[in-house]
């Protein structure tokens, strides 16, 4: 979507993939770090962390190492967003 398109929900996770942000429209998140030995390798993965877009307020999240919990939090957040759009809500796991 164009950087001039404003998301209705300010908490919606949005990443700027190319172009430049427009001040006052959306908060763009950092690109996730590549985690060697955990994430699937890809061409350029060894240089990814040096080249990724960084939003300083997000970086404490990427210092975490509880990857399974992080993955679950991401899945839950995405499903909550889908639920707000009228789709399936997350199922609470015990």
* 55 found inside a domain: yes
* 15 found inside a domain: yes
> Mean pLDDT in runs of 10 for the chain (94 residues)?
84 83 89 93 96 90 92 88 77 64
The pLDDT score that the predictor gives to residue 7 is 86
In order of 19, 27, 32, 56, 61, the CA distances from 81 in angstroms are 25, 16, 19, 24, 20
The domain tally of the chain equals 1
67 burial (CB, 10 Å; 0-12 / 13-18 / 19+) is exposed
- Give the pair of three-digit tokens for residue 61: 């999240």
* 30 found inside a domain: yes
The pLDDT score that the predictor gives to residue 65 is 93
Q: Which residues pair with 28 in a beta bridge?
A: 14
Whether residue 25 contacts residue 6, with contact meaning beta carbons closer than 8 Å, is answered with yes
Show the domain range for 20. 1-87
* 93 found inside a domain: no
Whether residue 47 contacts residue 41, with contact meaning beta carbons closer than 8 Å, is answered with no
């Amino acid at each position: 979507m164009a950087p001039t398109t404003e998301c209705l929900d300010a908490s919606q996770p949005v990443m700027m993939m190319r172009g430049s942000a427009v001040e006052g429209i959306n908060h763009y998140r950092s690109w996730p770090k590549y985690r060697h030995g955990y994430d699937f390798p890809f061409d350029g993965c060894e240089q990814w962390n040096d080249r990724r877009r960084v939003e300083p307020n997000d970086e404490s999240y990427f210092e975490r190492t509880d990857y399974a919990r992080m993955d679950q939090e991401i899945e839950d957040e995405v499903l909550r967003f889908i639920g707000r759009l009228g789709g399936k809500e997350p199922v609470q796991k015990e």
